[in-house]
Structure 1
Amino acid sequence: MIPNNIGNNKLCFLLIYEERDILFSEDYRKEKDTLGEVQVPSDAHYGSQTQRAIDNFPISGVRLPRSFIRAQGIIKAAAAKANMDTGSLDKKIGEAIIQASEEVIDGKWDHQFLVDIYQAGAGTSQNMNANEIIGNRASILLDIPFDEKKKRVHPHDHVNMSQSTNDTFPSALNIAAVEYLVHHLLPSLKDLQTAMENKSEEFKDVLKTGRTHLHDAVPMRLGQEFSGFAATIKESYESIHHTTDALYELGLGGNAIGTSVNLNPDYIPNVISDIKRRTSLPFREPENLFSFMQNRNAPIRTMMALKELAIHLIKITSDLRLLSSGPRTGLYEITLPGVQPGSTIMPGKVNPAILEMTHMVCCQIIGYETAITTAGIAGQLEINVMMPLIAYTLLQSIEIMTNAITTLEKKCINGIKANKENCQIWMNASLSVVTGVSPIFGYDLASQIGKQADEENKTIRTVLEERGLLTEETKKAIDPRGMV
């Protein structure tokens, strides 16, 4: 069902509503706000300000994710309890708000969070979407009819008590980001690191040629190559884990600009204490409320760490694609598990699909980092008005990176096999073993030997033998096993 007050935006809203499978009744109720009357679907828990945002921003049809809505519910429940504890909020109303907020935490009303991510005013519409849903739901729980306006749970006076969009929105972002990082992304990275370490151990006896500039280099072990991948993932894990600490700061109680205007002094410690209880995570007050309100330091740093991880994953997945290239005309030193047919025209072809997917996700992450950087620049004075964009971009980045890493580990890395014969063939053909005789004959003569072998398409051993230089010492010097 499409609201009948969308004017020329009918087509856009048709697409948005159809995508979400949202079915509201054809009946409407009238609600008033400071700008006048608004028609709202009669079975919607949201109110006039949410409806105006739906009408005003038919941009993408994309909303903030479940993790953010859950975080909003956590804040609203904790705020209600803190306000009850300080005596600022009636207990009966407060308990109804907490119950309604917990329903939001559990995802019961996700289908009524309809504000587009491209909205106005640092997330005011998103905050009001939550306030109105929770307020109206609390009124229903208290058996208060819609027409008894003065008795209803008020979205501003009750649900938003002691709060502002400016402190709750970035705090919800931090909660959502930390929960996903701690419970999903970081464990998936640790699993990927472990998978790489297992392969390093499995391939420790497989000799192969190394390559620099995509050309032959000295011999190495395949296990050593994978140990480098594992260490790189470990470093990214530690970097992201370090940036997570800044996300534990919650500026709740800062209100509009950080002055804590109209606030009971016990509210801040109480609200943060309840959030810690609900999440089992060590959230804390920021060192400076004004800095928290003005800047999105923690999300920006986290996004930069995700970008660094993306860069490393692109390098690793590109390496694995090269090592598995073939199977007849490439390096083919490793075999990847086949997950699906790779061509609609070439029968039997199997592509490195999981590696390609991971590369694509990483490209998206790098683009998202640019979006957050430019949004971070756009803050002025006491607030950054680009918070909805920052929230969506960071949370989307964390989610798709987590999914990509989990898929990479389970459907690719764990199933990689070493092609020992191919590794041996390429290593024996490599000219780089001439490096082993450089200390014996000097760099210049060793270079001549290598050049001759290349021009005459011979092995280093053959050239040494033809020159009368093949001795027990030089045999040992060019033995790849002695060079790793």
Structure 2
Amino acid sequence: MTTRTETDSMGTIEVPADAYWGAQTQRSKQNFVIGGQQMPLAVVHALAQVKKAAAKVNAELGELPQELASLIEQAADEVISGTLDAHFPLVVWQTGSGTQSNMNVNEVIAGRANEIAGQGRGGKSPVHPNDHVNRAQSSNDSFPTAMYIAVLQAVNNQLLPGMQTLRDGLHAQSQRYMDLVKTGRTHMMDATPVTFGQELSAFVAQLDYARAAIENSLPAICQIAQGGTAVGTGLNSHPQFAEKVAAALAAQTGLPLISAPNKFAALAGHERLVILSGALKTLAVVLMKLANDLRLLGSGPRAGFAEVLLPANEPGSSIMPGKVNPTQCEALSMLACQVIGNDTTVSMAASQGHLQLNVFKPVIVHNLLESIRLLADGCVNFQEHCVAGMSANEQQMAAHLENGLMLVTALNRHIGYDNAAKIAKKAYEENKTLRQAAIELELVTDEQFNQWVRPQDMLKPE
């Protein structure tokens, strides 16, 4: 492999000749060979947004020559576009402030800017990765700013649209079956009737609750740390830098970003991301119930509830011919488990803010972005491959309703709880219908039973 020599404060090191990165990236690449989880490109692209905004603001404030700022902005745009993605090889498991990834972005932007300037790929002239690309910045404020931008973009562009897709699909099915009466179940036991549409409407409302929780967490995440530099004081930055760079980033990203009112908290703690993670966990809980309920209702086809016909997407067994499994439900519930686990990691990592800095930043953003991606993809996939194609087994629902013992609840108002209980007990023990048991006990007449026990009249307050 052809190499070139790059330098940093520790001396010289050989770097692949075709790489845009420099010495600090190369050292990290060699020193942190841990796992296969690379730093999310969403964070890399967001860091490039920070570098672009910082160059623009530093030039405006007279802190950086305009010609260097223009080179940095041009190179940063290439990073943002994704054309240089191959030059960001570092893993999540690195220094807890994200310093190596911050420097990776600084070096790639400088390396590409120097190439644009005709000085060859890499190096430190005319654009220096620290003095120019990283001017008025520290990893301690740039990396959390990029974290927040990446998370906001993922929520807005992936998760919320994905949730809406699933919500709309469930709402359509709820409306379709709003008048289809079936047996309700509590404690996994027969209960009074509901309609299948009412049953599905619960999931629509639960998704709305989860969406509200997610959206309510976002305004605080729009408060960015940029301008705090190393410990929150803003050392080595212009007095106007923090506010101006927040405005520049807002213009670039279309996000309502503002400068965090307390930079010390913005560097040392990430409670705002913990709140979002908790909201993501809430969504995971909703999806777990949705998946579990549909696979219960679809169980069978002959020895289970068999009230819902789920799409048969693929063979379900390597040994049992013709078996079809609720695989979409299983996938959705598995990813819900992962998201719940990710929330635990985020909570633990966010609790590790020591003195002026939390140094668990990479694992926090890695887990949040993974959760967002899983939930977004899961919602869309479940709608497309399960909810859209499912249908009610109306014959089975009618049979369960006819045989259900808890229709006897309709008699409480007429003959009292104790007498109604006698009817239910006799019907169960003697394998008789409620009507037969009620008439034999001489508690109601056939005409009264017809008048009082009507499932369609048991669906709302009277």
Q: Same fold (TM over 0.5)?
A: yes
| Structure 2 contact 111–124 (Cα < 8 Å) conserved | no
Would you say 1:111 and 2:86 are equivalent positions? yes
1:338 to 293, 312, 317: 312
Equivalent residue letter for 1:94: A
> Where do 1:3-402 residues align within 5 Å?
26-145=1-120, 151-402=125-376
Deviations 1:242-290 (A, max 9, x none): 1111111111111001101121122222211221111111111112111
Change (3 A) 1:305 1:145: same
SS in 2 for 1:415: coil
Q: 1:145 to 1:192 in 2, by over 3 A?
A: closer
Q: CA offset at residue 146 of structure 1? A: 6.1
Does the Cα contact within 8 Å between 1:476 and 1:482 map onto a contact in 2?
Answer: no
- Identical residues among aligned pairs (%): 38
Deviations 1:194-237 (A, max 9, x none): 21111111011211000011110001111100011110011101
- 8 A Cα contact 1:294 1:382, kept in partner: yes
Root mean square deviation, CA, Å: 1.3
Q: 1:362 to 1:150 in 2, by over 3 A?
A: closer
Match of residue 423 from structure 1: 397
- What is the alpha-carbon distance in structure 1 between the residues aligned to residue 34 and residue 394 of structure 2? 55
5+ residue gaps, structure 2, are none
Please tell me the residue identity of whatever aligns with 2:243: P
Partner SS state of residue 26, structure 2: helix
Secondary structure of the 2:183 match is strand
Partner secondary structure for residue 366 of structure 2: helix
The residue number in structure 2 matching 1:11 is none
Measure how far apart 1:472 and its partner are.
2.8
**Contact 2:170 2:200 (8 Å CA) reproduced:** yes
* Structure 1 stretch displaced more, 346-355 or 418-427: 346-355
Deviation at 1:436, TM superposition (A): 0.8
> Quick one: distance in 1 between partners of 2:86 and 2:288?
36
Structure 1 residues 464 and 90 mapped into 2: Cα distance closer, same or farther (>3 Å)?
Answer: same
**Separation of aligned partners in 2, 1:66 and 1:93:** 25
> Secondary structure at the residue paired with 2:97?
helix
CA separation in 1, counterparts of 2:60 and 2:119? 24
Matched to 1:77, the amino acid is: K
**C-alpha distance in 1, partners of 2:439/2:422?**
14
Offset at residue 145 of structure 1 (A):
3.6
The TM-score normalised by the length of structure 2 is: 0.97
The alpha-carbon deviation at position 358 of structure 1 amounts to 0.5
Q: Secondary structure at the match of 2:224?
A: coil
d(CA) in 2 for partners of 1:351 and 1:245?
Answer: 42
Residues 121 and 444 of structure 1: is their aligned pair in 2 closer, same or farther, counting only changes over 3 Å? Answer: closer
Code of the aligned partner of 1:78: A
In 1: Cα distance, 2:453 partner to 2:191 partner:
13
What is the one-letter code of the residue matched to 1:101?
A
Residue correspondences, number: 458
**In structure 1, what is the Cα distance between the partners aligned to 2:69 and 2:119?**
15
